[in-house]
Structure 1
Amino acid sequence: IYSLLFLPEIHSMRMFYTAASNVPNFPEFVAVTLVDELQISHYDSNTRKKVPTQDWMKNITEGDPKYWERGTGILMAHQQWFKTNMEIMKQRFNQSGGVHVIQRMYGCEWDDETDEVNRCDQHCYDGEDFIVLDLQRETWIAPVQQAVPTKHKWDNNKADLAYWKNYLTQECPDWLKKYVEFGRSSLMRKDLPSVSVLQKTPSSPLTCHATGFYPDRADLFWKKDEEELHEDVVKGEILPNHDGSFQMSVDLDLSALKDEDWGRYSCVFHLAGGQEVSKRLDKRDIRTNWKTNDGVVAALLLLTGCIMGLIIYKKKPPQGKVETLLSSSGSLMCVC
């Protein structure tokens, strides 16, 4: 908890491009931009238009009336590039049909305390790493044999390497800082969650579920009296909701819990900056989906993740791992 009180603000901007082949009810190409995990713009091959998805994004371009027009033109060019490369990828992997997805994610993270900037640019195919930029060495890394020809071609394109080095080093953090300033009321807000205790069956673990909080720098834990519990506890990942807020859960194994001790347990949510929500364990407050002895059906277990079409992701997955994701806006993504 102490560390959450003094964490610096880490801001991020990531662009996600997705080209899809034979994916039912999904555009051929989708591009979205996220700032601090909040979507700020959207483009797809059906609408063929880049548009803001936050009200404050409309204000940031008041002095540049052609901002969205230029962005649309750039993404239309990217759309054609990805379409051409989809056929190349199928040939490389000796594929003729089926469902296939090319993804690119690039962007930067900025620490507003140290001014340190981290950068990332990577491509994946069908959910697996294909090629990743090593900006420090100014070279592309090919984790699969099929990417080697691409690596050689892109390594020899010095002008393109210089462009992306400048973009990721200078332009990306500059735009990120600008977005953070204009969107401060949304991006810097502090929202506390609603906290519920859930249980599938009488023998299942107790799940403490917190949803609706922002930002995602938070902790959720069980404690007995005033002591945080680490044994018999399984903590879930922080997941985004459709409205830009977040949710998380933590399970408590009941096997060692005595009936007379129930009142000594509580679930605590802690948001970076010190705000806190605590819920003491009470059998009457547990949401469940089993039938009670008198035949009355209790409240259904809250299945927020299934209802809202979330992005399922890991905040800090292993180095180089690229995962296939589905965002709340309906775009497939890969993240580093």
Structure 2
Amino acid sequence: MVPVLLSLPLLLGPAVFQETGSYSLTFLYTGLSRPSKGFPRFQATAFLNDQAFFHYNSNSGKAVPVGPRGPVEGMEDWEKESQLQRAREEIFLTTLKDIMDYYKDSTDGMFGCEITNNRSSGAVWRYAYDGEDFIEFNKEIPAWIPLDPAAANTKLKWEAEKVYVQRAKAYLEEECPEMLKRYLNYSRSYLDRTDPPTMIITSRRAPGRNRIFRCLAYDFYPQRISLHWNRASKKPASEPERGVFPNGNGTYLSWVDVEVPPQNSDPFLCLVEHKGLSQSLSVQWDETRKVKAENNVAARPQ
């Protein structure tokens, strides 16, 4: 049998915390039908909102906090977390075996289970196969709903064994909300924090080519940010796509570039909006520091 990857992200949020903000609890589970030597059969990573706070694998059998600080700093009962994940490991690998019994000819597979709880859609537990939605659980019926014709047989098997329905319903309605409440005793202030961005403007130009200005924002939280280049005349300048990326310390970084022809002498402004700022910030390239800036020294906010 070819080793098969089964990955289950379990997501809960915003749950009962609408008055103070939205919070999510996410577990990313990965299992292998026949792991190679040195690779664990089962791994788990847990997230509160977008912040990882522990890892677990079947080789060690222990849940270990991520980093010296994090969303659950001060939580000490890691043996309880380890016991819970060992139970999850058993359930997960049983699910993997059920899927492999049906897909004997599959060379690889990916399955996902997402749980979310909000005012519009309620809680959802979903599996995906090869990146496509496969089957999900509706706790109001309660029943498994095929999202692909091939999932009809899986629905019949799981509903014939009523434990699959009972387990999913209990998780959605009881276990996951209680876990999220317990974690929030440690994490609410961490998740509600706002860290404003630190700004740097750099410039580079190859001989005979246009100059490229980069506006870089880093060490900010939460993740959402707006960065735009404008001319001083308020006409928007062109800019390429950019993204928002983890910074490795629980914060994020992002940047936006603009390409300027040598003959263009208009001042360019980088406009920044973020929850950690009391108002929009305008950062301008300082021509008086041209030489240092060409060597990637930070420009100062104006």
TM-score strictly above 0.5: yes
Report deviation, 1:25: 7.0
Verify: 1:122 aligned to 2:126, yes or no: yes
Conservation of the 8 A alpha-carbon contact between 2:229 and 2:238: no
Q: What TM-score results when the alignment is normalised by the length of structure 2?
A: 0.69
Verify: 1:281 aligned to 2:292, yes or no: no
Conservation of the 8 A alpha-carbon contact between 2:48 and 2:71: no
1:4-43: CA deviation from partner (whole Å, max 9, x where unpaired):
xxx9732211111112466797533211110011112211
Conservation of the 8 A alpha-carbon contact between 2:61 and 2:82: no
Match of 2:223 among 212, 216, 240: 216
2:217 counterpart letter in structure 1: A
Which residue is equivalent to 1:259? Answer: 264
Match of 2:115 among 107, 121, 124: 107
Conservation of the 8 A alpha-carbon contact between 1:103 and 1:124: yes
Conservation of the 8 A alpha-carbon contact between 2:45 and 2:52: yes
Q: Would the alpha carbon gap of residues 272 and 55 (structure 1) be closer, same or farther in structure 2, given more than 3 Å must change?
A: closer
Which residue is equivalent to 2:106? Answer: 95
Q: 2: CA distance between counterparts of 1:207 and 1:73?
A: 47
Q: 2: CA distance between counterparts of 1:23 and 1:207?
A: 44
Q: Would the alpha carbon gap of residues 168 and 79 (structure 1) be closer, same or farther in structure 2, given more than 3 Å must change?
A: closer
Report deviation, 1:249: 2.9
Report deviation, 1:134: 4.1
1:52-84: CA deviation from partner (whole Å, max 9, x where unpaired):
33566474465xx85234214313313532552
Q: 2: CA distance between counterparts of 1:89 and 1:285?
A: 66
Report deviation, 1:215: 1.3
Verify: 1:49 aligned to 2:62, yes or no: yes
Q: Would the alpha carbon gap of residues 190 and 232 (structure 1) be closer, same or farther in structure 2, given more than 3 Å must change?
A: same
Match of 1:249 among 246, 249, 255: 255
Match of 1:172 among 154, 176, 192: 176
Match of 1:74 among 82, 87, 93: 87
Report deviation, 1:172: 2.6
Match of 2:137 among 130, 133, 141: 133
Report deviation, 1:164: 2.5
Aligned length: 269
**Secondary structure, aligned partner of 2:62:** coil
Q: Which of structures 1 and 2 has the bigger CA Rg?
A: 2
Q: 1: CA distance between counterparts of 2:205 and 2:43?
A: 38
Q: Would the alpha carbon gap of residues 144 and 208 (structure 1) be closer, same or farther in structure 2, given more than 3 Å must change?
A: farther
Identity between Structure 1 and Structure 2 (%): 23
Which residue is equivalent to 1:292? Answer: none
1:259 counterpart letter in structure 2: N
Which residue is equivalent to 2:14? Answer: none
Q: Would the alpha carbon gap of residues 76 and 228 (structure 1) be closer, same or farther in structure 2, given more than 3 Å must change?
A: farther
Q: 1: CA distance between counterparts of 2:286 and 2:169?
A: 56
1:278-299: CA deviation from partner (whole Å, max 9, x where unpaired):
42134738988xxxxxxxxx66
Conservation of the 8 A alpha-carbon contact between 1:13 and 1:36: yes
Conservation of the 8 A alpha-carbon contact between 1:16 and 1:103: no
Report deviation, 1:157: 4.9
Match of 1:15 among 4, 14, 27: 27
Q: Would the alpha carbon gap of residues 241 and 101 (structure 1) be closer, same or farther in structure 2, given more than 3 Å must change?
A: farther
Which residue is equivalent to 1:271? Answer: 274
Q: 2: CA distance between counterparts of 1:145 and 1:9?
A: 38
Structure scoring higher RCO (CA < 8 A, sep ≥ 6) equals 1
**Secondary structure, aligned partner of 1:259:** coil
Conservation of the 8 A alpha-carbon contact between 1:133 and 1:140: yes
Conservation of the 8 A alpha-carbon contact between 2:51 and 2:71: no
Which residue is equivalent to 2:244? Answer: 238
